Homo-oligomer: A and B are copies of this chain.
């Protein structure tokens, strides 16, 4: 069996299987596929979207839920509730997940992370202190606009 390369890559960039084992769990196909998928995703994904992305030979519904929960528990992913009350999962990137806006398509529900010039803190009433500001946009995404035209 070939040895690991002598220089261990930083956790954040190592291969999915390695990251999973490093978290103390078995590197199963299910976990590897989901982790790869989240790594490639440009925005937070819902359970349903991941199922679709996995395509034909998808995992069992429940297994996917458990894999996602494990990823969160292991600190490899983060989850949050979207405006439709569904969990969305994103790779846990070290930095703050702020400073950018989210666009949610009314049509397909996809969420896009936008690079916008930081929503500028408006004037708050006297005595208020701001901790976080998030800009949430909704509308139709390019994909849906194209298909319905």
Which A residues are within 8 Å of any B CB, using their own CB?
Answer: 81-83, 85-87, 101, 103, 106, 112, 114, 116-117, 119, 121-143, 145-146
Q: Report how far A135 CA is from B119 CA in the complex, Å.
A: 8
Q: Report how far A142 CA is from B132 CA in the complex, Å.
A: 16
Q: Report how far A145 CA is from B123 CA in the complex, Å.
A: 17
**Can you report 27 residue pairs joining A to B where beta carbons are below 8 Å apart?**
A81-B82, A103-B124, A103-B128, A112-B128, A119-B135, A121-B137, A122-B135, A124-B137, A126-B142, A127-B141, A127-B143, A128-B140, A128-B141, A128-B142, A129-B140, A130-B138, A130-B139, A131-B138, A131-B139, A131-B140, A132-B138, A132-B139, A133-B135, A134-B135, A134-B138, A135-B135, A136-B136
Closest to A136 in B: B134
Q: Report how far A123 CA is from B103 CA in the complex, Å.
A: 11
Q: Chain B residues near A117: list those with CB within 8 A.
A: 122
Q: Report how far A87 CA is from B140 CA in the complex, Å.
A: 24
Using A81-B81, A145-B127, A146-B127 as known contacts, say yes or no to A122 and B101 having CB atoms under 8 A apart: yes
Partner pick for A142 among B122, B125, B137, CB 8 A cutoff: B125
